[in-house]
């Protein structure tokens, strides 16, 4: 017999899973990039800043060209440049990685909100056209399929990047050398690995992916730009890399926890199960769960040994 | 050589990165102003004249100095130990809310009891909010930058939830809390808008300065900050010290929130953005962890803060100009700190 309550519950679960995939994407993209940076020994705390500037650049470019592809390309370009700047400051100049990250984040928050005021005054920025959805052919034809398997293509990109990153880091010579640079740069150097080059490459990969993560927020997640659009997602990505112990497969688990929490807090309100519990209370859920996840799994963490320490080239 | 001259040389050597950072940030932010069609000379001269040239401006600057000074001092205790408390925003918010609740609900008490209790509540509020990341760091080694920062977002949402829910003042059309009792209000210095909280800020600065340079605890904090390894070899109780540092740091910032409530705002509303917790961060680095210098920088920054705030209302200069300035300043500071070692001595 058809039970309307069961149908409601089923649609609730399906839409929550679909939402979790969408909420997870910007975190996952940024966290994968951060995994490269941290595996090479650089703690890049500038992810929030890169996401903010890329979100703004992607948004402005898409408005100007009416093309989301151009918007994404510009966001990746800006991410590359910011990755290069961070690499120059922390690798070549060997500046403090923590201070550099905080400084970049502060500057990014300032410059993006400043530019929004300059361009749009006190009004709201316009909306961008929605990103096209991509359907996974076979899976979308199963009963729960259409909602879950029809998503913006970046969702699929972020999921594909998980096994790809795992393969690169653990099965290729590039990944082996990258991790060697993060564990013991001195020995890696003696074995003929160009430590600076590997760290530059890792930070640029981090910049590109954080750029994509940021652009996803303004071009798809809310389809416009608002002040501090990232809402700490860059920091959550760093938390998830630590939770995931520099292993992309565990990063996916962390991403699912965050994405699930964000999606659940949205769909519970939509369903009205907890009527009277204001939005704000549910909004704390993703942050609290991220911190809790960090706490529960932290004991198993094995840091890349040289993480956070600048490496000085031997001159002899 | 003339001792005055050698002193001057030493000062310039020590302060060079900070001076380069401030001047560089002024130049960099001026370029941004020029690019966006605003005359930087008029902005900077207006900032100074608005914040220091009128009675309104001077009063406002000295009122804003109080939370800034207390926040830099609170943050400095943790930064000195190489513990990066970036959660000042949340700690101040929770401190303000605790003070608000006590100042309202114990309003029947005489001022002599009520004011200390209200301020203590603020200290406890900030302390509690800093204790979570402190414990996570001390017991599990979880990165405190991440936890303190994420707890800012939790604090903001939690407070909005409480103000719109159980703490809402039913007499007001817009969500806000009930104001503190008149007996809990910190008085103003007669003839000015400046409240006596400024004496608290001065006292805290002096106390923490003495704590850092004269006491065993201060020495231990410094040792821990300079080398965790050395501190371990010396047998310092690292976990205990970590918790003490977070308690002091968060407590002082919470107290600053309590002073904002008892002297300036009287209640808490969701529009309040205690940005002091974040904007004070670069100032602590620029002070090179010297409490007195940090407090002086906080005072100077208050001029800039108030100047930009007034200009937002008069000529529409976006207040986010401040974060651009601070971000540039901190970047240039960290760069000039390291480039010195590449230069010949």
Please give the full DSSP string across B76-112, using - where no structure is assigned: HHHHHTT-----HHHHHHHHHHHHHHHHHHTTTS-HH
Which range (A25-34, A90-99, B308-317) has the least confidence? B308-317
Tens digit of each residue's pLDDT (9 = 90 or more) over A14-69:
888 888 999 999 999 999 999 999 999 999 999 999 999 999 999 999 999 988 99
Rounded to an integer, what distance in angstroms lies between the CA atom of residue A167 and that of residue A176? 11
The pLDDT of residue A278 = 66
Mean pLDDT of A140-157: 74
Interface mutation target, options A284, A309, A315, chain B, most CBs of B under 10 Å: A284
Mean pLDDT of A165-188: 93
The pLDDT of residue A284 = 87
Mean pLDDT of A198-224: 94
Mean pLDDT of chain A: 87
More confident residue, B206 or B272: B206
Inter-chain contact A110–B322, Cβ cutoff 8 Å? yes
Distance from CA of A284 to the nearest CA of B (A): 5
Tens digit of each residue's pLDDT (9 = 90 or more) over A231-274:
999 999 999 998 888 899 999 999 999 999 888 887 777 666 55
**For chain A, give me the number of helices (H) and strands (E)?**
13, 2
Inter-chain contact A242–B338, Cβ cutoff 8 Å? no
More confident residue, B15 or A102: A102
The three state secondary structure string of B29-76 is HHHHHHHCCCCHHHHHHHHHHHHHCCHHHHHHHHHHHHHHHHHHHHHH
Enumerate residues 271 to 300 of chain B having a beta carbon within 8 A of any beta carbon in chain A.
278, 281-282, 285
> Is B24's Cβ below 8 Å from some Cβ in A?
no
- Using CB atoms, pick whichever of B153, B320, B330 lies closest to residue A287: B153
pTM: 0.92
Interface mutation target, options A27, A116, A280, A315, chain B, most CBs of B under 10 Å: A280
Q: Which two tokens stand for residue B251?
A: 């407590």
Contact between A117 and A137 (Cβ < 8 Å):
no
Q: Which residue of A has its CA nearest to B279?
A: A106
Rounded to an integer, what distance in angstroms lies between the CA atom of residue B305 and that of residue B275? 11
Q: Chains A, B: CB contacts under 8 A, how many? A: 146
Using a CB-CB distance cutoff of 8 angstroms, which residues of chain A are in contact with residue B339? 93
Inter-chain contact B285–A295, Cβ cutoff 8 Å? no
Using a CB-CB distance cutoff of 8 angstroms, which residues of chain A are in contact with residue B337? 95-96
Q: Which residue has the tokens 């130990």?
A: B81
Mean pLDDT of A175-201: 92
Rounded to an integer, what distance in angstroms lies between the CA atom of residue B337 and that of residue A96? 9
pLDDT at residue A276 is higher than 70: no
Interaxial angle between packed helices A4-39 and A47-65, expressed in degrees from 0 to 180 and rounded to the nearest 10? 110
Using a CB-CB distance cutoff of 8 angstroms, which residues of chain B are in contact with residue A239? 143, 146, 150
The pLDDT of residue A315 = 52
Inter-chain contact A106–B330, Cβ cutoff 8 Å? yes
Interaxial angle between packed helices A4-39 and A195-216, expressed in degrees from 0 to 180 and rounded to the nearest 10? 150
Give residue B278's pLDDT band: very low, low, confident or very high (50, 70, 90): very high
The pLDDT of residue B172 = 83
Contact between A108 and A50 (Cβ < 8 Å):
yes
Give residue A138's pLDDT band: very low, low, confident or very high (50, 70, 90): low
Q: Which of B80, B61, B99 is nearest to B181 (CA)?
A: B99
Interface mutation target, options A92, A114, A274, chain B, most CBs of B under 10 Å: A114
Give the torsion through C-alpha atoms of A249, A250, A255, A257, to 10 deg.
130
Contact between B93 and B270 (Cβ < 8 Å):
no
Inter-chain contact A103–B327, Cβ cutoff 8 Å? yes
β-partners of residue B195 are B188
- Using CB atoms, pick whichever of B136, B324, B334 lies closest to residue A110: B324
Inter-chain contact B334–A95, Cβ cutoff 8 Å? yes
β-partners of residue A133 are A152
Interface mutation target, options B21, B304, B334, chain A, most CBs of A under 10 Å: B334
What are the angstrom distances between the C-alpha of A167 and each of A241, A248, B79? 17, 9, 39
Inter-chain contact B147–A301, Cβ cutoff 8 Å? no
More confident residue, B339 or A135: B339
> Is B330's Cβ below 8 Å from some Cβ in A?
yes
Contact between B91 and B154 (Cβ < 8 Å):
no
Using a CB-CB distance cutoff of 8 angstroms, which residues of chain B are in contact with residue A298? 140-142
Contact between A107 and B327 (Cβ < 8 Å):
yes
Q: Which two tokens stand for residue A188?
A: 């890696």
Distance from CA of B259 to the nearest CA of A (A): 26
Rounded to an integer, what distance in angstroms lies between the CA atom of residue B155 and that of residue A220? 27
Give residue A316's pLDDT band: very low, low, confident or very high (50, 70, 90): very low
Long-range pairs of A143-146 with CB within 8 A, sequence gap ≥ 24: A144/A10, A144/A14
Give residue B190's pLDDT band: very low, low, confident or very high (50, 70, 90): confident
- Using CB atoms, pick whichever of B143, B149, B281 lies closest to residue A232: B149
Tens digit of each residue's pLDDT (9 = 90 or more) over B230-277:
999 989 999 999 999 999 999 999 999 999 999 999 999 888 888 899
């Amino acid at each position: 017999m058809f039970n309307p309550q069961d149908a409601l519950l089923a649609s609730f679960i399906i839409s929550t899973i679909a939402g979790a995939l969408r909420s997870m994407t910007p975190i996952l993209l940024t966290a994968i990039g951060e995994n490269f940076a941290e595996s090479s020994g650089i703690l890049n705390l500038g992810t929030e800043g890169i996401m903010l500037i890329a979100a703004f650049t992607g948004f402005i470019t898409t408005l100007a060209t009416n093309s989301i592809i151009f918007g994404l390309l510009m966001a990746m370009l800006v991410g590359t440049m910011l990755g290069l700047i961070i690499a120059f400051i922390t690798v070549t100049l060997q500046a403090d990685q923590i201070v550099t990250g905080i400084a970049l984040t502060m500057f990014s928050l300032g410059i993006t909100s400043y530019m929004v005021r300059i361009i749009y005054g006190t009004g709201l920025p316009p909306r961008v056209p929605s990103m096209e959805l991509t359907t996974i052919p076979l899976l979308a034809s199963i009963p729960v399929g259409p909602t879950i398997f029809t998503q913006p293509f970046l969702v699929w990109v972020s999921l594909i990047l998980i096994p790809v990153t795992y393969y690169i880091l653990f099965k290729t010579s590039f990944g082996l050398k990258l991790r060697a640079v993060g564990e013991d740069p001195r020995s890696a150097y003696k074995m003929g690995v160009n430590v600076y080059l590997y760290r530059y490459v890792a930070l640029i990969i981090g910049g590109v992916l954080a750029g994509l993560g940021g652009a996803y927020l303004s071009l798809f997640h809310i389809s416009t730009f608002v002040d501090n659009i990232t809402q700490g997602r860059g920091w959550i990505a760093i938390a998830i890399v630590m939770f995931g112990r520099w292993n992309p497969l565990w990063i996916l688990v962390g991403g699912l926890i965050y994405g699930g929490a964000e999606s659940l807090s949205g769909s519970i309100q939509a369903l009205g199960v907890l009527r009277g519990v204001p939005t704000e209370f549910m909004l704390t859920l993703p942050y609290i769960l991220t911190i809790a996840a960090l706490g529960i799994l932290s004991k198993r963490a094995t840091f890349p040994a040289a993480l956070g320490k600048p490496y000085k080239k031997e001159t002899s | 050589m003339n001792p005055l001259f050698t002193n001057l040389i030493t000062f310039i050597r020590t302060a060079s990165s900070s001076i380069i950072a401030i001047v560089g940030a002024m130049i960099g932010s001026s370029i941004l102003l020029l690019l966006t069609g605003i005359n930087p000379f008029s902005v900077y001269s207006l900032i100074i004249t608005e914040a220091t040239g009128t009675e309104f401006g001077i009063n406002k600057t000295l009122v804003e100095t109080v939370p800034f000074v207390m926040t830099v001092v609170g943050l400095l205790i943790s930064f000195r130990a190489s513990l990066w408390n970036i959660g000042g925003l949340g700690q101040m918010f929770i401190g303000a809310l605790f003070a608000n609740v006590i100042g309202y609900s114990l309003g029947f008490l005489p001022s002599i009891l009520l004011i200390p209790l209200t301020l203590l509540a603020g200290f406890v509020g900030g302390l509690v909010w800093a204790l979570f990341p402190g414990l996570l760091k001390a017991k599990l080694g979880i990165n405190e930058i991440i936890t303190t920062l994420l707890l800012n977002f939790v604090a903001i949402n939690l407070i909005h939830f409480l103000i719109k829910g159980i703490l809402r003042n039913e007499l007001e059309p817009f969500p806000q809390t009930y104001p503190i009792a008149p007996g809990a209000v910190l008085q103003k210095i007669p003839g000015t808008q400046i409240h006596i909280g400024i004496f608290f800020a001065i006292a805290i600065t002096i106390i923490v300065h003495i704590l850092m340079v004269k006491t065993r605890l201060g020495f231990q904090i410094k040792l821990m900050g300079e080398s965790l390894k050395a501190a371990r070899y010396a047998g310092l109780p690292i976990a205990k010290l970590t918790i003490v540092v977070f308690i002091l740091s968060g407590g002082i910032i919470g107290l600053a929130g309590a002073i904002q409530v008892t002297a300036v705002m009287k209640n808490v509303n969701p529009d309040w953005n205690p940005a002091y917790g974040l904007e004070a961060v670069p100032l602590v680095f620029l002070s090179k962890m010297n409490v007195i210098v940090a407090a002086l920088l906080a005072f100077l920054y208050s001029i800039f803060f108030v100047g930009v705030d007034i200009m937002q209302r008069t000529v529409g200069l976006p207040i986010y100009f401040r974060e651009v300035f601070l971000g540039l300043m901190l970047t240039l500071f960290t760069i000039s700190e390291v480039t010195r070692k590449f230069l010949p001595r």
